[in-house]
Amino acid sequence: MTNIAILGFGVVGSGVAEVIATNNETIARKTGEHINIKYILDLREFPDHPLGGRVVHDMKIILADPEVTVVAEMMGGAHPAYDYTRAALEAGKHVVTSNKEVVATFGAELLRIAKEHHVRYLFEASVGGGIPVIRPMSSCLAANELSEVDGILNGTTNYILTQMIHAGKTFEEALAEAQEKGYAERNPAADVEGTDACRKICILAALAFGRLYAPSSVHTEGITAVTAQNVADAEALGGVIKLIGRAGRVNPADPDSDVFLLVSPHVILHENPLSCVDDVFNAILVRGNAVGDVMFYGRGAGNLPTASAVVADIIDILTHKDAEIFVPDWESAVGAPADHTALPYAFLCRIETSAPFADAIASLQAVCAGAEVLTSADAFDGTLAFVTPVMSEAQLRTMAAPLGTLTSVIRVMP
């Protein structure tokens, strides 16, 4: 029997207890032992829960108990989650977590501390909820030099965009509905402004490229500015708008080239499998030099899916006792990732112009050979939708300046 402690008995923490209670026999068949939740650390009491008697309010009790070999941290927030994680690792206990904020901010340091104390720090649940992606990236794709990771990493924003695309709702209507259904919080900023997706792409980039950039150093645009008009323009181009976290090598063929990271709405053309990922589902596409593109898809949030990943990490620890496991070395990156404005993109644009339709098109084509106009003469309302050839954002801004005011610029995923 392995004794574990759960830190934080909220949605995910109680989900972990539920998965263990439901599937403990299956787990024991696979690992040879049962999991026992010896302690639950929370500020609250849970008198009506079957495990209510295991609740403690002092982390020192857990740290001091040699019977506890695994700590599952599901508190959320940076502190005290980071501090407790560190203390647990230093006390020689394995730690598994769903806390993306802690992993994205302190992951490099915590992995180093884990290594020093011959324990493991696992965080499958921090990205993509229950979707297996962290472990497959570090093991199944280990034979590959990875050049890019793209993900639909936030279920709330994907639900809102899906409603805008398939039900013709405005951003405000879709957000209100998401809040009603419990998919979005009352204060939806971390989701709709891209903060959550940013933390997750930082974690994925560290796995792929061995370097952990601070989320604050990553250019992050949310979906608050996406309009029904943008959705229609993307459709005219043969795609859909998705909030994408994107990380890659500036030169995909050179594994020593700089790493770029950004989070922003992108047009995903229908050929790209990410275009089919709707509602609250998440998906992560990984590109390797041997395997090509692989994609992992599933529910990116929710108590049981996320708990499924947390418990999988616990099982991984149980089935690899005393093993010399490879621990990734993450460099703590100093400074910012490569300049995202220099990345080559086609851009889906709307420009406001005072010129008549024919003149506006002539001016556009004079400065931007190869631009494809998406607005017909009939639909012209003083704004023109077009898609540029591949260029940098800096080139786009210079090119468009004499034409009028760019009212929207959306990257088209290459």
- Where does this chain bind its own copies (CB under 8 A)? 15, 19, 22-23, 26-27, 30-32, 124, 130-132, 135-136, 139-145, 255, 273, 275-277, 281, 288-299, 302, 304-305, 307-312, 314-316, 319-326
Distance of CA 348 to the CA centre of its chain: 24
In Å, how far are 68, 194, 241, 276 from 166, measured between CA atoms?
49, 22, 11, 12
Identify the sign of the CA torsion 45, 184, 81, 286: positive
Rounded Cα distance, 128 and 296, in Å: 9
Question: CA distances (Å), 216 to each of 236, 242, 247, 313, in order?
Answer: 34, 22, 15, 28
Name the one residue in this structure whose structure tokens are 């203390």: 87
Between CA 78 and CA 31 the distance in angstroms is: 32
* Residue 267 and residue 348 in contact, taking contact as beta carbons nearer than 8 Å: yes
Pairing of strands 383-387, 346-352: antiparallel
* Tokens read off for 389: 């050839």
Q: Looking at this protein, which amino acid is placed at residue 390?
A: V
Annotation says 38 is catalytic: no
The torsion angles phi and psi of 129, rounded to 5 degrees, stand at 50, -120
What DSSP state is assigned to residue 328?
A: -
Closest CA to 389 of 406, 368, 359: 368
Per-position DSSP letters for 171-215, written without gaps between them: HHHHHHHHHHTTSS-SS-HHHHTSHHHHHHHHHHHHHHHSEE--G
Can you tell me whether residue 308 is helix, strand or coil? helix
Residues 6+ away with beta carbon under 8 Å from 236: 374, 385
How far apart are the two ends of the chain, measured CA to CA in Å?
50
Grouping H, G, I as helix, E, B as strand and the rest as coil, residue 380 is coil
Q: Which is nearer to its own copies, 8 or 305 (CB)?
A: 305
Shortest separation between residue 261's beta carbon and its own copies, angstroms: 21
- For the bound state, the minimum distance from the C-beta of residue 242 to its own copies, rounded and expressed in Å, comes to 14
The residues annotated with a catalytic role in the active site are 200
